């Protein structure tokens, strides 16, 4: 997952400050996700889960309220069907948004960890990881459709 994030940043880094920042947030989220299972249960796991959930919600918010809007605005300027193609991705992205928000609601402010809670969280974290990986691929497709496919047209007009 981390390698795919690096590849996306190399492909689309520099496109815009918003996308650059968003890809940085993605990398931080993945790093927190990867290191979360390494946390000792009795020493700060609740705080680490809370931090992970903050990164998760920030990433989702940036995507939905900044990046997607910018990409759709750019795609609409070309009126070539790219917006319609990208909009087909949104329902699939929304599934991971719902799962991520459910995870956040359930674990962001957990104070007492029981064996059952830790086991459930491990299962839910694994499922969330799969959904996030698919989300990142869909978001990369959206960047491809709405930005990269037009980058040569933009450079020709400059």
For residue 143, give the CATH number of its domain: 1.20.120.1370
The answer to whether 25 and 58 have CB atoms below 8 angstroms apart is: yes
| CB-based contact 62:21 (threshold 8 Å) | yes
End-to-end CA distance of the chain: 36
Number of domains present in the structure of the chain: 1
The pLDDT mean for the chain works out to: 85
Contacts of 121 (CB under 8 A, 6+ apart): 49, 107, 110
Share of the chain above pLDDT 90, in %: 53
Mean pLDDT (whole number) for 60-76: 88
pLDDT at 122: 94
pLDDT at position 43 is 73
Question: Which structural domain range is residue 66 located in?
Answer: 2-157
| Cβ neighbourhood burial of 155 (10 Å; 0-12, 13-18, 19+) | exposed
Nearest to 140 by CA among 13, 29, 40, 38: 13
3-state helix, strand, coil in the chain (%, to 5): 85, 0, 15
Could you read off the pLDDT of 82-136 as tens digits, one per residue?
Answer: 889 889 999 999 999 999 999 999 999 988 888 999 999 999 999 999 999 999 9
- Model confidence at 157, pLDDT cuts 50, 70, 90, reads very low
């Amino acid at each position: 997952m981390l390698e795919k994030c690096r590849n996306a940043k190399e492909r689309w880094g520099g496109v815009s400050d918003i996308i650059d920042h968003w890809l940085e947030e993605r990398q931080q989220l993945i790093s927190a996700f990867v290191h979360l299972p390494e946390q000792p249960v009795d020493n700060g796991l609740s705080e680490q889960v809370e931090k992970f959930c903050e990164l998760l919600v920030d990433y989702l918010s940036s995507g939905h309220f900044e990046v997607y809007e910018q990409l759709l605005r750019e795609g609409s300027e070309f009126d070539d069907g790219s917006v319609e193609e990208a909009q087909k991705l949104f329902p699939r992205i929304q599934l991971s948004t719902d799962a991520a928000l459910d995870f956040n609601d359930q674990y962001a402010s957990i104070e007492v960890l029981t064996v059952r809670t830790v086991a459930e969280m491990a299962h839910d974290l694994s499922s969330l990881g799969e959904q996030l990986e698919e989300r990142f691929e869909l978001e990369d497709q959206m960047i491809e459709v709405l930005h990269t496919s037009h980058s040569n047209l933009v450079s020709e007009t400059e």
